[in-house]
Structure formats: structure tokens, C-alpha cells
Structure 1
Amino acid sequence: MVYSGLSKGFSARRLEMLTARMQADIDAGRIPGAAMLIAHRGCVAYEQALGWQDAAAGIPLALDSIFRIYSMTKPIVSVAVMMLAEEGKLLISDPISRYLPELRNLQVGVERLDATGRPALALEPTRQAITLQDLLRHTSGFTYGIFGESLVKAAYREARVGSPKATSDEFVRALAQVPLAYQPGTTWEYSHSTDVLGVILERISGKPLDEFLDERILKPLGMHETGFWVEPQRQHRMAQAFSIDPVSGAEVKLPQLAQRPAFLSGGGGMVSTLRDYLRFAQMLQNEGELDGVRLLARKTMRFMTSDHLAHLPAATAGASYLPGPGYGFGLGFAVRTDSGCAIAPGSLGDYTWSGLAGTYFWIDPEEDLLAIFMMQAPEQRNHYRQLFRNLVYAALE
């Protein structure tokens, strides 16, 4: 990747507007800081680190600041799964019980009123097996214990599904104790699905998830700042959130990840830097290859970035469908399926995902463009994802 400073096709004046707009919000105390990068036609057109890495300590944000990327871990794990598919070590049509027999007899929780008129969970058998494809596209029936309320989500919280203190085997055993939220293959629901994929990678490879990803993806791509924890000698580069969000008033607690966690969350456990994640995103944009290192075949990348929900129209109908209007979902990414409908500009076929603390990226093959936004302000993530995308496309000539 060439660091050109400005690519033909972008307005220098409008990129300055992007900087000014973000700096104004930082100066107003709405967010601590933001690191932003736009790459276009093989060149970095824009790269800025604005504001504070740690506002309380007065440490400025830098281009090598380390961010908790949360669910931007999911595309990395999804790529790893498809690498094993290319090697014939799995099929995405395989039932997950082939690798995790503990999850062979899951049932679906259906809320009904009991004799007293109160909601209660009834259990129904699954009509079809959960497959690896269901995990990759979030149609497994699993959920999270957060993002809304239901009796199934309450059961997840009670069972402590996804506890950072659990091992991978303990995570699977906890998941086996709770019902599914939906019938497999019917409904898109954001969930622990990619955490399950992480455990499957461990079972197939015989290696811990961090070791497997380091060997197969991170080291080959030169992503030396990406992992599941931050050693003491690098802790001073961790980006921090405000302790109280200045807009919502909510308390913000982010993990410091100062030591290797017991549970390596394939769905949301990693940290990275702006330029490290650029290496991964550029590999995706190049359809599986970067600097002579090929992780995936061109056709596999196109398969992953195609909509896998098109024949499941009911899957996108719920209020909890996070990709939103104009987007389907592929194998690890939301995929744009409509020129209109979405809340921000883009192109047919652009693909994207984001992280809980405020990180976000997308790739637009039609425009030969990728963009990455990193901050640590969970309460403001939705606003700045949309704002950043609007301003990037506004600067494109």
C-alpha cells in the first residue's frame, strides 16, 4: 500500500472538511478521539489521528494507538473458517454437532403465556440442524444475552454464556444449557455464532484460537499489533473511552486486556491498530491476497461477500436486523444489495462490519475504496459510522 497523502479522485478541500468536522466534535467533548483512514486505488488517500488516546491522562491519539475492535474480530475468524473450507477440512453445510457434539440436542425457546398469564418459555425441537453456514451468516438461532430483552436472553445471562472467565469448553457447555432464540436457518440474529466458529477452529486445528490466527492470518499479513490482549510494554498505547459518555450519561467500562483471557472470543475479543487492520482489509479488497501472500481464492472471497440471505426474506424482517435496509449478509460481512434504502451512501456490493466500542470499516469494490474508522466511544458508535461514511463519499470526486 502506497502512502501517497492524496489519491486522485478525492477532493482535498472536502477531506479537510472531514478532519474539521471530527475535530469539532472532539473539541466539544463528544468523543475522546478518532483515527481514520481512506485507501483508494491502491493508495492511502487520507490518514488522521485526532484528539485523545487517553483524555484523562492528556495523551494524544496516535496512528499506532491500540483499539478494542470487538466485532471486527468476526471477519478475521470468518476468513479463517473459509481457509479451512478451501483445504477440505470442513464444509460450510456441515452440522456444527460434527465438531461440537455438546450442541447436538439443542431446542428452541418459544415464549407463551402460562396459566397465570405470565410469559414462560416452552421448548420445541429444532426442525433442521445448525450448519457452519448458519454460524457465518448469523442464522443459527443463537443470540447474545444483551441487545434487547427476552426470556432466552435472560437464560443466557443466568448461564453466563460468553463469560471472559470461561474456557472454550466451558463456553460450549454453557451454550448447551440454554435454548435457541429461533429455528435454525430462519432468522438473522446477532449472536455468539462467531464465538462458536472460534471454538470449531480450535477443535479442528488442535490449537488455541490465538495461536491458530497468528500462524495462519496475522503473521502472514504482517499484523503484528493485532491479538487478544495487550502486553504490559504496549499498554501505554491503549486507546481509552470517557468513563462517562458525555451525550448519554452512561457509564463506560472497557476491558484493559492486560493478560491473556481465559476465553478467546472469536466474535469480539481482539485488539488492533489502524494500519494493522488496513493490512487485513486490503487483503479482502484484493480478493484474498496481499503482497504475494494469498489467504483465500478469488472465488471464495466473492462467495463470502455475496448475500446469503436472499432466499430467506423473513430473516431480515425483524427489528433486530443490524445491517439495516439495503443490506443483506454474507459470510462474515453485511453486503449492500440496493443502491437506495440504506441510510448512507455506498455502492452495490460494498461490504462492511463494525465493533461495539466504535470501530468500523467497509470496502467498496466498485469505487476501489476502503475506509476504516476507529474510536472508543460505544454509546456514539451508530452516529459516527453514518457520519464518517457520509463524509468519505462526499469527498469522492
Structure 2
Amino acid sequence: MSGEAFSGSGLARLREAMAGHVEHGGVPGLVALVSRRGEVHVEVHGRAALGGRPMARDTIFRVASLTKPVTAVAAMILVEECRLRLDDPVDRFLPELADRRVLRSPDGPLDDTVPAERPITLRDLLTFRAGTGILPTPPGAHPIQRAMDEPALGQGPPRPGAVPAPDEWIRRLATLPLIHQPGERWMYNTSADVLGVLIARASGLPFEAFLHERVFEPLGMKDTGFAVPAADLDRLATAYGGTPVDGVLPVYDEAEGGEWSRPPAFPSGAGGLVSTVDDYLALGRMLLGGGRRGGERILSRPSVELMLSDQLTPAQKRATSWVGDYFDTHGWGFGLSVVTRRTDPAETVGRAGWDGGLGTSWYVDPREDMVTALFTQRAWTSPVPPEVCRDFLTSAYQAIAD
């Protein structure tokens, strides 16, 4: 039965669209959730592993870059407690990042640098304007890119087993110059990993412990963490690469004995978490509730509103290369994207969230009081969302009843 939030015929079309992507081999399986005005609808299709167990609503997925909004929430908790300040230099807790040098040109040699014009701030990290990150150029095109591609820095697809402990990771990162001046330009990914180290040092707790104590436990996100307990490994989906080899999807990570079956040395604030659609529904409802979920307040309403507000200037958007003209209609808040201009039925102005390159997508829409979450276990092959993601959002929004 459909309530006032969604139409029955619209939900039927959503079901048909999602089932079709599994039946036609687009993804091995999926769990899709739409929630609006308190009404929740979940679609479960396919299998958690090819030829294996069926997918279930509580299947655990590697959510990759959906970790970034969680990391931003954790940072804002410390801001509200005055243990961090948005515009203070991070040098106090991250002395490795003091006195930065900046490449004279992004494609230049690593020793051709100039001094940073100012220190890196927490705001720079939250908005991905710290001056370092993944370059949108072919792999290995520039010296800094080759250096950033070192497995120990973990700036490619998530590989928890390859990255050293936080102190060693930040030491290695600090040996490299910045690519741009702090605050100058949006650059993807690396800032969120730095944030994880900063949160641990500012809180006095390991990053993973702070998240469990201050975010996951209060929100009831019982299946979210940086590793899956042995007792729950039968619920972890097998992860697959996005490009078939001889017609078969290659395994990216097994459940039993895989990289998420044990705690990592480096809990990545950019892409290390595993979770379920219901856990991310709880996170989304907290943000839509102005920082409160049930009787638990995680953040104040003003902090949530800031997180979900576009922080990029028009000049920064013009200077950013990300999926063609993406920043013509989107901005960036704290750890997530924000729709700034509507060009699609599923892109309400103010809708915020992000995607995970291993096959996940999650958004909150304050105007519609809506959360959408699509979790699959097939990796994306480019920053352009695959058809299953685009069809899911189209189907979710066409199901709105009013």
C-alpha cells in the first residue's frame, strides 16, 4: 500500500526499473530505498554474490565515498564543542602540514615550488579546497600525480590493506607539495582523509572510535564501520569491478578474508566505511531533522544548514573539471555536493549527498523531506553515474504522489 508520500503506480515503476537492471546483468544485485515524509519503501533484487546468496535489506556494502559526509558530520561535532574552529589553521593538530610549499604549476617538477600564501584551515578541508587532491587527468600524467598514486597514500579506489597508520600516512603526504594554494580551488578526495587524522588528534580518540561513540551509536547505525565483524561477514556483499573481463565481472573484494574483514591500519575518512541502506537512512533523517534523530541531537540546525550550503565561488566552479559541466548546476558543501540549479526532475535545488565509486549513491532532499539510497556492489567505470543510478533517481522522483 502507498501512503500520501508516494503513488502506488510510481513505486511499481521503480520496482520494475530496478529489477530490470539486475535481470539484464547491469548489477549482480541491489538494495534501493526511498523515504519521504516518514514513508519508507525498499526494493531488494538480485544476489549479494554472483551465483551466491540472495541480496537482503540488511546486506552490508562498501560505501566508499559515502564516507565523506560522515567525516564532515564528525568534524562539525568538534566545531560545536569548540575543539576545532572553521577558520583556524590545522597546524596545531597537524604540524606535518605547517609551512606548506605549493607547485608553481600542477604539471611541473616536485621541487619547483613557492611558499603557501596562508595555512590550511578546517574550512579548506571540509570544502575540499586544501590545495591537494586527485587531478582529473590521465593516470601518471604529471609528477605530482604519480606521487599521489602511490598505494600507501590510498588516493585511488579504496584498498584498506595498502595504507599505513595515520601518523605515517600524514607524514608521507607532507613530503609532497600542494598542487594549488590553500582555499584556491576544489580538489577531490584527499582532504577527507586528512580530516580523519585531524578528528582523531583533536578528539583524543581513534577516528573510528569517535565515529562510533558520537555518530553511529546515537543514530543506531549498528552496521556501519571500517570493518565487518566475523559474525556478520555472511551479510557483506562481494564487491566487483565495473568492467567485465571475458564477459564476467572481476571480483574486487571478497567478503570472507577480504580487505574489510579486519580493521584497517588507516581508517579512511574519504572512503573506508561499510554500511547498509537503513543506516544511511538514519543519517539522512538526522540531516533532514536539523541535526536531530528521534531523541538524539547530533548537530545543531545551523551547523546542518551550513553543511548543506554551497561553499564554492563561481570562479572556483569554472576552474574545476569534474564530469563535464557538473559544477554548472552543483556546488559543494561540507563533504557532499549540493544542487544549485534544477535541470532534471530528480535534482531539486538544495538536494545534497554523494556517490561511492564501488556502487553506492545517497542523497537527502530538504524540500521534499526525502532520502534516497541505492546500494549495489558493482564499481563505477567513470565519474558519470551508471544507468542504474540515473534510473533509480528518476524512478524515485516520478513516484512522488503530490
* TM-score exceeds 0.5: yes
Match of 2:378 in 1: 377
5 Å-filtered alignment, 1:64-79, equals: 64-79=58-73
Match of 2:157 in 1: none
Matches of 1:145 and 1:303, distance apart in 2: 27
Structure 1 position 185, deviation (Å): 0.8
Counterpart code for 1:210: E
Match of 1:116 in 2: none
Counterpart code for 1:30: G
Counterpart code for 1:305: L
5 Å-filtered alignment, 1:250-269, equals: 251-254=250-253, 255-269=258-272
Structure 1 position 261, deviation (Å): 0.6
- Specify whether residues 184 and 249 from structure 1 end up closer, same or farther in structure 2 by C-alpha distance, changes over 3 A only: farther
SS of the aligned residue for 2:380 comes to helix
Matches of 1:253 and 1:145, distance apart in 2: 23
Structure 1 position 317, deviation (Å): 2.9
5 Å-filtered alignment, 1:314-325, equals: 314-320=316-322, 324-325=327-328
Matches of 2:270 and 2:47, distance apart in 1: 27
Contact 2:362/2:374 (CA < 8 Å) preserved in 1? yes
SS of the aligned residue for 1:202 comes to helix
Query: Which residue among 154, 161, 182 is the counterpart of 2:153?
Result: 161
Matches of 1:159 and 1:102, distance apart in 2: 20
SS of the aligned residue for 1:198 comes to helix
Structure 1 position 69, deviation (Å): 0.6
Matches of 2:248 and 2:59, distance apart in 1: 25
- Specify whether residues 7 and 127 from structure 1 end up closer, same or farther in structure 2 by C-alpha distance, changes over 3 A only: farther
Structure 1 position 312, deviation (Å): 5.0
Give ranges in structure 1 of 5+ residues lacking alignment. 114-118
Give ranges in structure 2 of 5+ residues lacking alignment. 155-159
Deviation track 1:93-121 (CA, whole Å, cap 9, x = no partner) reads: 011212100111222224488xxxxx644
Match of 2:219 in 1: 221
SS of the aligned residue for 1:36 comes to strand
Q: Which moved more, 1:158-167 or 1:100-109?
A: 158-167
CA RMSD after TM alignment = 2.3
Contact 1:189/1:321 (CA < 8 Å) preserved in 2? no
- Specify whether residues 32 and 73 from structure 1 end up closer, same or farther in structure 2 by C-alpha distance, changes over 3 A only: same
Q: Does 1:184 align with 2:178?
A: no
Match of 1:283 in 2: 286
Counterpart code for 1:308: Q
Counterpart code for 1:49: V
Structure 1 position 6, deviation (Å): 2.8
Matches of 1:233 and 1:351, distance apart in 2: 34
Query: Which residue among 73, 77, 80 is the counterpart of 2:74?
Result: 80
Matches of 1:244 and 1:218, distance apart in 2: 30
- Specify whether residues 93 and 290 from structure 1 end up closer, same or farther in structure 2 by C-alpha distance, changes over 3 A only: same
Q: Which moved more, 1:175-184 or 1:287-296?
A: 175-184
Counterpart code for 2:37: R
5 Å-filtered alignment, 1:380-395, equals: 382-383=385-386, 384-395=388-399
5 Å-filtered alignment, 1:103-142, equals: 103-111=97-105, 120-121=109-110, 122-142=112-132
SS of the aligned residue for 1:253 comes to strand
Query: Which residue among 290, 305, 321 is the counterpart of 2:308?
Result: 305
Q: Does 1:210 align with 2:202?
A: no
Matches of 2:106 and 2:57, distance apart in 1: 52
Match of 2:400 in 1: 396
SS of the aligned residue for 1:61 comes to coil
Structure 1 position 250, deviation (Å): 7.3
Structure 1 position 242, deviation (Å): 3.8
- Specify whether residues 356 and 112 from structure 1 end up closer, same or farther in structure 2 by C-alpha distance, changes over 3 A only: closer
Deviation track 1:225-278 (CA, whole Å, cap 9, x = no partner) reads: 110001111111111234673499774523541111100111111100111111
- Specify whether residues 16 and 83 from structure 1 end up closer, same or farther in structure 2 by C-alpha distance, changes over 3 A only: same
- Specify whether residues 147 and 72 from structure 1 end up closer, same or farther in structure 2 by C-alpha distance, changes over 3 A only: farther
- Specify whether residues 124 and 263 from structure 1 end up closer, same or farther in structure 2 by C-alpha distance, changes over 3 A only: same
Match of 1:51 in 2: 46
Deviation track 1:297-345 (CA, whole Å, cap 9, x = no partner) reads: 1111111111111x352344322368543111111221111123xx663
Deviation track 1:158-199 (CA, whole Å, cap 9, x = no partner) reads: 483237440000110011011212221111110211111111
Query: Which residue among 266, 273, 277 is the counterpart of 1:274?
Result: 277
- Specify whether residues 359 and 291 from structure 1 end up closer, same or farther in structure 2 by C-alpha distance, changes over 3 A only: same
Counterpart code for 2:99: N
- Specify whether residues 54 and 187 from structure 1 end up closer, same or farther in structure 2 by C-alpha distance, changes over 3 A only: same
Matches of 2:249 and 2:101, distance apart in 1: 36
Matches of 1:158 and 1:75, distance apart in 2: 25
Matches of 1:249 and 1:19, distance apart in 2: 25
Contact 1:159/1:174 (CA < 8 Å) preserved in 2? no
Deviation track 1:321-373 (CA, whole Å, cap 9, x = no partner) reads: 68543111111221111123xx6632111111111111111111111111111
Structure 1 position 49, deviation (Å): 1.1
TM-score (norm 1): 0.90
TM-score (norm 2): 0.89
SS of the aligned residue for 2:252 comes to coil
Give the % identical residues: 35
Structure 1 position 136, deviation (Å): 0.4
Counterpart code for 1:387: D
